[in-house]
Amino acid sequence: MATHTTSPKVFITGASSGLGEALARHYAAEGAILALVGRRGDKLTELAATLPHPHAVHCYALDVRDSLALRAAAADFMSRHGVPDIVIANAGISHGVNTEDAGDLPHFASVMDTNWMAMVATFSPFVAPMRERKRGTLVGIGSVAGVRGLPGHGAYSASKAAAMTYLESLRVELRADKVAVVTIAPGYIRTPMTDGNPFPMPFLMDSDKFARKAAAAIARRKRFTVLPWPMGIVACAMRCLPRWLYDMLFAHAPRKPRLSERKAKGNAAATPNTPDTPDTPSDKPSNGAA
C-alpha cells in the first residue's frame, strides 16, 4: 500500500554514474524519495549508501531495453510511494558508427533502443496515473547532438533527434491533462563517457552544476532547456545553417571512436584487470553532445 508523504518522489534511469548520479545526489539532498534504475546493481547500491537518506532510496538493477522489467520497477515503486512527481528518462549510450560496416548495425540498434525506445518504455507506466491526478512531470534527456546529424555520430544524433521529437509530441498530447513534459538538451557535460572524447569540448560543464540547472528547469516545468546555455546559441546556429554550408563546415569534424576502435585501443593498453567495454546500456550516460 502506498504511503503518503510531502517529500518529492523522483524516478531516474541511468542513475549509477554521470548525469543520472548527479541528478540523484541533487534530489537526495532535497529530501526526495528516489527510485534509481541502472544496469549495474552494485553501483546503484554504492551510490544509495552515500546519499543523505539511504532508507528513502529504492534501487532497481535492470536493462532499460527490457520494457517489462521497467514496468515492474515502476509498479513496485508506486505500490510503495504512489505516483512519482518527476520521472527522468536519462539512460543513454553512444558509439561512433560507420554505415558501410555491417558489424556496426547492432550498435545502431542498441543506441536507438536505449536512447529513444527505452525513454518511451520508461514513461509508459506513469502516463495514465499522472493524467488521472492531473499533475506530474516527465523529463527526457536529449542532446545538442540531435539538432543536426553529426558525421560519425549517426546513431547517436538520430536517437537524440527521435527522442526530442517524441518529447515534443508527448508534451502536446498531455498538455490538457496538466502533465508537463520537459526536454533537457545537454551540450558537453563532464562524465565518464565524455572523458574519453579525443576532441575539444567547448563550454564543458561539471555534472553537479548540470544537475542544479536541470532541476531548476524541471521545477519551472520549462519545455526545452539547453545546458550550458552557450550551447543553446550553438544549437540555434547549427539549426539555421543552410545544408550546403553545414556540409562544408562539418565534413571534417572530429568523430567519436567506434566501439571496435575503443576496444582495440583498450586491449593494446590493457592489464589483466582491465575489462573490455560491453555493448550494453551503461550507466555512464552519454547524454550530451557525446
**Residues known to be catalytic:** 156
**In whole angstroms, what is the distance from residue 206 CA to residue 14 CA?**
17
- Of 62, 61, 19, 15, the closest CA to residue 34 belongs to 15
Q: Which helix (H) or strand (E) holds 225?
A: strand 224-227
Cβ atoms < 10 Å from Cβ of 6: 5
What amino acid is encoded at 227 in this protein? L
**In whole angstroms, what is the distance from residue 183 CA to residue 146 CA?**
12
SS3 161: helix
Cα torsion through 127, 128, 130, 133, rounded to 10: 170
**In whole angstroms, what is the distance from residue 140 CA to residue 91 CA?**
9
CA distances (Å), origin 236, targets 83, 239, 244, 250, 288: 36, 5, 17, 16, 16
**In whole angstroms, what is the distance from residue 96 CA to residue 39 CA?**
22
Q: Which helix (H) or strand (E) holds 153?
A: none
> Read out DSSP for 40-62?
-HHHHHHHHHHSS-GGGEEEEE-
